[in-house]
């Protein structure tokens, strides 16, 4: 991450037991409060010998650009953002760890977010959530407004990097997910039209999913090469 990167963090306590928070996490979409999330596809899922659940999902999101960005960037710039989400569930430790990052628009901005949902052993009816985000833009003259505009609402007031605090490095991709051949278990599509909505072969997002899967199924590809090839494919 460049010197212009920004780091944000927050910690909240959720008044619900960890198993309920975990169930809610898998059932987040579709919902009327997240209309910007268009689709959700499960690319990979595995239960390891150590009883950890590993998952990789592809999310399609859309966000309106700030007014100044509408004037600066070309009108044909895609508003769809493709986001990969890796997650690890450890039922013995009562933890859910997620990492998300954008696959396209990397020349404009890169956003990496890490979340840790952890059951509170002292208060079984509570769950602790720690969020971290790394935001970086290399656009000359626009890096600061882009990074500021993209600040997640729940992280306002908890920032480092350019504010003078040390900038921790972003988390690496989960080795157990990205450094082995990915066995495709299923494609599960959830859209704003409701679970089970039929998606035709002409659906562009489904085509992107298939392209990603073809890369992930190759033992010679790790997350770096997959991201590089996907960036070329999505332009």
CATH number for 109: 3.30.530.20
Strand-by-strand arrangement of the 6-14 sheet: 6-14, 127-136, 110-119, 95-102, 80-90, 53-62, 37-47, 189-191, 194-195
* 119, β-bridge pairs: 127
Q: Establish if 108 belongs to a structural domain.
A: yes
Question: Residue 225: pLDDT above 50?
Answer: no
pTM exceeds 0.85, yes or no: no
d(CA 234, CA 37): 18
Give the number of domains in the chain.
1
Domain extent at residue 79: 6-234
Q: If pLDDT is split at 50, 70 and 90, which confidence band does 49 have?
A: very high
Q: Establish if 1 belongs to a structural domain.
A: no
Q: Establish if 16 belongs to a structural domain.
A: yes
Q: In degrees, to the nearest 5, what angle opens at C-alpha 53 toward C-alphas 170 and 27?
A: 85
What are the pLDDT digits (tens) for 94-129? Answer: 999 999 998 887 777 788 999 999 999 999 999 999
What are the pLDDT digits (tens) for 130-147? Answer: 999 988 877 766 666 665
Output phi, psi for 134, to 5 deg.
Answer: -120, 120
What are the pLDDT digits (tens) for 73-95? Answer: 655 556 788 899 999 999 999 99
Q: If pLDDT is split at 50, 70 and 90, which confidence band does 218 have?
A: very low
């Amino acid at each position: 991450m460049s010197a212009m990167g920004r780091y944000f963090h927050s910690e909240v306590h959720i008044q619900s037991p960890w198993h309920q928070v975990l169930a809610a996490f898998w059932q987040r979409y579709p919902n009327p409060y997240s209309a910007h999330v268009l689709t959700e596809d499960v690319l990979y899922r595995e239960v390891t010998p150590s009883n950890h659940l590993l998952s990789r999902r592809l999310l399609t999101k859309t966000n309106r650009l700030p007014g100044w960005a509408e004037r600066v960037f070309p009108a044909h710039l895609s508003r769809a953002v493709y986001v990969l989400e890796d997650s690890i569930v450890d039922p013995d430790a009562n933890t859910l760890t997620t990492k998300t990052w954008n696959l396209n628009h990397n020349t404009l901005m890169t956003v990496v977010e890490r979340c840790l949902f952890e059951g509170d052993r002292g208060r079984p009816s509570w769950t602790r959530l720690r969020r971290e985000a790394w935001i970086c833009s290399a656009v000359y003259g626009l890096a600061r407004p882009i990074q500021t505009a993209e600040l997640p609402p729940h992280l306002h007031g908890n920032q480092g990097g350019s504010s003078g605090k040390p900038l921790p490095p972003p988390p690496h991709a989960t080795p157990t997910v990205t450094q082995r051949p990915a066995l495709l278990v299923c494609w599960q599509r959830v859209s704003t039209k409701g679970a089970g909505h039929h998606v035709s072969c002409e659906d562009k997002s489904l085509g992107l999913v298939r392209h990603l899967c073809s890369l992930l199924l190759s033992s010679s590809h790790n997350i770096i090469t997959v991201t590089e090839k996907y960036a070329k494919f999505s332009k």
